[in-house]
């Protein structure tokens, strides 16, 4: 491996899945302004995740519609007339 290309500032960081609230702690160089008190009583930087292995459909085996911006509603409103004509 090449010398000097890997970071040296690894520290313990908490990653929290915002969709289901699960958290895990691991070493990382990711920076964050947020902190959280962990189970051991210490405070660690917090990285918020939209999706992790505890909520991803591939790992859970469940299909889950993630619609954070109302995209399905926007689509339905935009093509409402076309869909209604096709249904008749």
At 25-65, the pLDDT tens digits run 999 999 999 999 999 999 999 999 888 878 777 767 776 55
Query: In the chain, where does DSSP find H-type helix?
Result: 57-60, 71-78, 80-87
For residues 68 and 51, the answer to whether their CB atoms sit within 8 Å is: no
For residues 30 and 19, the answer to whether their CB atoms sit within 8 Å is: no
Give 21's pLDDT tier (boundaries 50, 70, 90): confident
pTM across the whole model = 0.62
Give 84's pLDDT tier (boundaries 50, 70, 90): confident
Residue percentage of the chain with pLDDT more than 90: 40
């Amino acid at each position: 491996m090449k010398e000097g290309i890997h970071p040296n500032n690894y520290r313990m960081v908490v990653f929290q899945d915002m969709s289901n609230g699960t958290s895990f702690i691991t070493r990382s160089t990711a920076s964050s302004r947020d902190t959280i008190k962990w189970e051991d009583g210490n405070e660690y930087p917090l990285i918020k995740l939209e999706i992790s292995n505890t909520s991803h459909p591939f790992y859970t085996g469940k299909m889950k519609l993630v619609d954070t911006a109302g995209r399905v509603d926007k689509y339905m409103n935009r093509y409402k007339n076309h869909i209604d004509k096709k249904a008749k």
